[in-house]
Amino acid sequence: MKPKRVPHRFRQAAPRGRVAALACALLFAAALAASAPGALAQKEAPSSVSGRVTDGERGVPGLTVTLLSADPAQRFRAVARGRTDGEGRFLITNVAPGRYQIAPSAPAYVVEGMTDSYPPGRPLTLLAGEEVKDFDFRVERGAVITGRVTDGDGNPVISEPVQVTPAEPGGQQPPRSRTIDLRDQMTDDRGVYRIYGLPPGRYRVSVGQAGDESGGFTLGRRRIFQRTFYPGVTEQAQARVVEVKAGDESENVDITLGRPIKTYKAAGRFVGAETGEPVPNIPYGYSALDASGRRVGSFGGGQATNARGEFSTEGLAPGRYVVFNMMGAESTEFYTEPAMFEIADADVSGVTVRVRRGASVSGVVHVEGVSDRALLARLLSQVRIFGYVESRDRTVPPFSSRPPGVNPDGTFRLGGLRPGKMHLSVSAEAAKGLSLARVELAGANVTRGFDIADGAQVTGVRVVLNYGTSVITGQISYVNGTPPAGSRAIAQARRAGVPADGSNARTVEVDARGLFRIEGLSAGEYEVIVSVFGAGSRGFSVPLSVSVPDGGETRIAPVVDFSAQPPPRGVGP
């Protein structure tokens, strides 16, 4: 049977003499072209994916397989689900073409090839009308560690979180990329805990939080204990290591705690740094500090200062703490100097938190490639601006504002900013096709951040967005090597003629089949490169020039060469 003629839109991406390497990619491209007669029908046709979840021998029934959007603007939301049948087979249908992460939800299992990352799963690129088959997963029954936690009098310790951590640096972490009811990691009414779904490895098991020269707080629990390791020691070096294999259940990993730590209160006032007058209605939070003065552990708070600017906390173990304002509707123009205090063996009062008027950043959002006013207004109404201030002060949490909307004329403003390095990003979940092109200030590209001084009023920031509905779809092949196990492949497209600093690039992950899809592009000339890295081996494709029509889909077939030199700085991962 003669192969189908390859359409001219599939571009050769390798030097001459690599005909064999290109053949596979070009035949795939021909098959894609034959799968749908017209571009419009191809874009609108739904896709499907099916496969099987097994333990290596038998299918695993009753697992939910979830498809998550891999578009950051969609915040990795679940778009479709399927459930494995009695033979472990699943089918997910009626899916729009695009980029996804796919993973089985298997709390009692360890999924082969899954890392402790977010979003969870394996990358999957779906073409219009495509029926992906045999997208299989292999799982193995996770290990279990179970035991009982008692206090110094032999009484059960109830509703206490249990921590399981690798015994060696760099050890495989227990998977966090699955949804777990936190109660599954706590002791029950008998003081019994059961931690399941663990990868094979060596672990330390501990209970409690206070100690190591840092404080701790109850966060609603009745009591607080010093961190104690199995079988009942407070020094990590003396902890007994628990080693488990796949499917093992290690029982009687019991921990005996000392008596609960006595807790104390702290109180003080928020006052204006310049006036000394009390500042009411400031939402505040607090956190423990380690010996180096760095913030550790969870946040406390959730309340606001009263009419006299006063605050009060309780349930604090001996240690060092910091109090700070948390962003809220009433505090968006202010920030606080970090106020540190230490609890030894008594309540603390008179803590003074100084409030300062923060800096602000204002500017305008500009959407390139849109002249229709109605469309522009609709797009701007769906944009939210996110601000992040990178501070040198390790005692306070990074600034994270409530993302303001953009006004009808495209203007925006962020207030209450600490001094530091400001990073701006955007979200436009409902407006597919919008992407951040660059951030400008005084004519300079500051996409990677810009400094703001204490109390500065930074104006004239220009957030430039691209709007496009064009797509580049690619199928990669390899020469002079193959991808090592566990490697990742990244495809990147940037506009031709733009400096290779990476700030104007669109980057996506290539799936296990070598497929990728870069969406939301406006019409124009682009340069595409694919990089593969992992296990000490790297490969790169020859930069490929691609002309993208307005609203169309362009298909390419890059060839990754494991003997090629790295691309220019700023291109690739």
For the stretch 303-312, pLDDT in tens is 889 999 999 9
- pLDDT number for residue 214: 63
- Which is more confident, 119 or 453? 453
DSSP per-residue codes, 542-561: PPEEEEE-TT-EEEEB-EEE
- Which is more confident, 38 or 211? 211
Q: Which is nearest to 496 in space by CA: 522, 463, 468?
A: 522
Distance CA 28, CA 22 (A): 10
Question: What mean pLDDT is predicted for residues 420-441?
Answer: 81
Distance CA 214, CA 287 (A): 10
- pLDDT number for residue 225: 87
- pLDDT number for residue 42: 40
Q: Are 110 and 530 spatial neighbours (Cβ–Cβ below 8 Å)?
A: no
Q: Which fold has domain 470-561?
A: Immunoglobulin-like (2.60.40)
Question: What mean pLDDT is predicted for residues 489-505?
Answer: 73
Sign of CA dihedral 530, 531, 532, 537: positive
Question: What mean pLDDT is predicted for residues 270-288?
Answer: 90
- pLDDT bucket at 217, cuts 50 / 70 / 90: low
Q: Are 381 and 481 spatial neighbours (Cβ–Cβ below 8 Å)?
A: no
- pLDDT bucket at 287, cuts 50 / 70 / 90: confident
Could you tell me which residues come within 8 angstroms of residue 261 by beta carbon, excluding any fewer than 6 positions away?
A: 210, 216, 223, 224, 225, 226, 317, 318
- Which is more confident, 384 or 48? 48
**Minimum mean pLDDT range among 87-96, 295-304, 462-471, 536-545:** 295-304
Question: What mean pLDDT is predicted for residues 91-103?
Answer: 92
pTM score above 0.85: no
Q: Are 224 and 216 spatial neighbours (Cβ–Cβ below 8 Å)?
A: yes
User: Residue 410: how many CB atoms within 10 A of its CB?
Assistant: 19
Provide the residue ranges of all domains of the chain, joining segments of one domain with +. Answer: 36-140, 142-256, 265-357, 359-467, 470-561
**Minimum mean pLDDT range among 144-148, 237-241, 463-467, 484-488:** 484-488
- pLDDT number for residue 87: 96
- pLDDT number for residue 485: 78
Long-range contacts of 228-235 (CB under 8 A, 24+ apart): 228/255, 228/256, 228/257, 228/258, 229/204, 229/205, 229/255, 230/147, 230/204, 230/205, 230/206, 230/254, 230/255, 231/255, 231/256, 232/256, 232/257, 234/258
- pLDDT bucket at 35, cuts 50 / 70 / 90: very low
**51 has a pLDDT exceeding 90:** yes
- pLDDT number for residue 412: 93
Domain range 36-140, its CATH number among 3.40.190.290, 3.40.30.10, 3.30.70.260, 2.60.40.10 = 2.60.40.10
**Minimum mean pLDDT range among 17-21, 319-323, 336-340, 540-544:** 17-21
Report residue 51 as tokens: 């496969």
- Which is more confident, 193 or 72? 193
Q: Is 265-357 a CATH 2.60.40.1120 domain? A: yes
Query: Using H for helix, E for strand and C for coil, what is the string for 99-148?
Result: EEEEEEECCCEEECCCCCCCCCCEEEEECCCCEECCCCEEEEECEEEEEE
Q: Which is nearest to 159 in space by CA: 63, 243, 224?
A: 224
φ and ψ at 5, to 5 degrees? Answer: -70, 135
- pLDDT number for residue 208: 85
Which residue's structure tokens are 């008596």?
A: 259
Q: Top-level CATH class of 142-256?
A: mainly beta
**Minimum mean pLDDT range among 100-114, 234-248, 399-413, 496-510:** 496-510
- pLDDT number for residue 275: 92
**133 has a pLDDT exceeding 90:** yes
- pLDDT number for residue 306: 94
Distance CA 103, CA 119 (A): 10
Could you tell me which residues come within 8 angstroms of residue 469 by beta carbon, excluding any fewer than 6 positions away?
A: 433, 520, 550, 551
φ and ψ at 523, to 5 degrees? Answer: -60, 145
Which residue's structure tokens are 């807790």?
A: 263
Per CATH, 265-357 and 359-467 having the same topology is answered: yes
- pLDDT number for residue 397: 62
> Which helix (H) or strand (E) element contains residue 473?
strand 470-475
**319 has a pLDDT exceeding 60:** yes
**3 has a pLDDT exceeding 60:** no
Find residue 458's DSSP bridge partners.
361
**487 has a pLDDT exceeding 60:** yes
**328 has a pLDDT exceeding 80:** no
Q: Are 90 and 51 spatial neighbours (Cβ–Cβ below 8 Å)?
A: yes
pLDDT (tens digit, 9 = 90+) per residue, 261-273? 888 999 999 999 9
Q: Which is nearest to 60 in space by CA: 85, 82, 27, 25?
A: 85
Question: What mean pLDDT is predicted for residues 296-317?
Answer: 83
Distance CA 156, CA 346 (A): 28
- pLDDT number for residue 330: 46
Adjacency order of strands within the sheet including 411-417? 411-417, 359-368, 457-467, 434-441, 444-445
Residue count of the chain: 573
- pLDDT bucket at 347, cuts 50 / 70 / 90: very high
Cα 499 to chain centroid distance, Å, stands at 27
CATH number of this structure's domain 359-467: 2.60.40.1120
Quote the mean pLDDT of the chain: 81
- pLDDT bucket at 37, cuts 50 / 70 / 90: very low
**131 has a pLDDT exceeding 50:** yes
φ and ψ at 41, to 5 degrees? Answer: -60, -35
